[in-house]
Structure 1
Amino acid sequence: MNVVFFDVDGVLNSEKFLCDKQGEFINPKNVANLKMIVDATHAKLVMTSDWRKQVIDKDVSKAHVRELIGRLADAGMEVYGATSSGDELRSKYGDYTRACAVKDYVTANSVEGYVILDDMDMDWEAHELDSHWINTENVLVGLSEADARNAISIINQ
């Protein structure tokens, strides 16, 4: 199974988008770039974002969750799963980071190819995941088309 591990803020939006589009949370261009990755690699979407519990529970009482689920559905995508929370992994790893959660997911599931889309360094190198990480530019763009092409290469390597 191929997986795209993804954060939301700084990946599917940017600071500029959030300022320009008051009341919107998800940039359709970034969703299209995510779709490019999924189509080319047949990857499953696994959330690492702090939004993960609300999205997995489909808590559509929250506007940002409703928008994310809707935009993904409009593009023919859905969230397959989510990484474990810090509470679930702290006893196993001590100093929990998103990198621990990704590493745990890869180990526990039949993950073959994967990429990590995040605008922040979550100790990827310390957990030997930096070669799978794409640092999306959170201020102006988020997930760009160039990032999507790079993600496809990483998954297919």
Structure 2
Amino acid sequence: MNVVFFDVDGVLNSEKFLCEKHGEFINPKNVANLKMVVDATGAKLVMTSDWRKQVIDKDISKAHVRELIDRLADAGMEVYGATSSGDELRNKYGDYTRACAVKDYVVANSVEGYVIFDDMDMDWEAHELDSHWINTENVLVGLSEADAMNAISIINQ
């Protein structure tokens, strides 16, 4: 199974987008770039974002969750799963980071090809995940077309 692990803030939006599109949370261009990766690799979407519990529970009482679910659905995508929370993994890893959750998911689910979209270094190198991490530019763009092309190469290698 191929997987795209993704954060939301700084990936599917940017600071510029949030300022310019007051009241919107998800940039359709970034969703289109994510769709490009999914279409080219057959990857499943797995959330690493702090939004993951609300999205998995489909808590559409939250506008940002409803918008994310709707924008993904409009593009023909849905969230397949989510990484475990820190509470679930803290005993296993001690110093929990998002990297621990991704590594745990990869091993537990026999993931073959994968990429990680995140705008922050979550200790990826320390967990030997840095070759799968694409650092999205959170201020102006988020997930760019160049990031999507890079992701396709990483997953399909």
Give the aligned partner of residue 48 of structure 1: 48
Provide, for residues 96-149 of structure 1, a one-character-per-residue CA deviation record: whole Å limited to 9, x for no partner.
000000000000002000000000000000000000000000000000000000
Q: CA deviation at 1:150?
A: 0.1
Query: Residue 138 in 1 paired to residue 138 in 2?
Result: yes
SS in 2 for 1:112: coil
Distance 1:30 1:82 in 2: 19
Q: CA deviation at 1:34?
A: 0.1
Q: CA deviation at 1:14?
A: 0.1
Output the aligned Cα RMSD.
Answer: 0.2
Q: How many residues align?
A: 157
Q: CA deviation at 1:65?
A: 0.1
What's the TM-score, normalizing by structure 1? 1.00
Distance 2:106 2:124 in 1: 14
Extract unaligned runs of 5+ from structure 2.
Answer: none
Identity fraction in percent: 94
Q: Which portions of structure 1, spanning 4 or more consecutive aligned residues, are displaced by more than 3 angstroms?
A: none
Provide, for residues 50-94 of structure 1, a one-character-per-residue CA deviation record: whole Å limited to 9, x for no partner.
000000000000000000000000000000000000000000000
Distance 1:156 1:100 in 2: 23
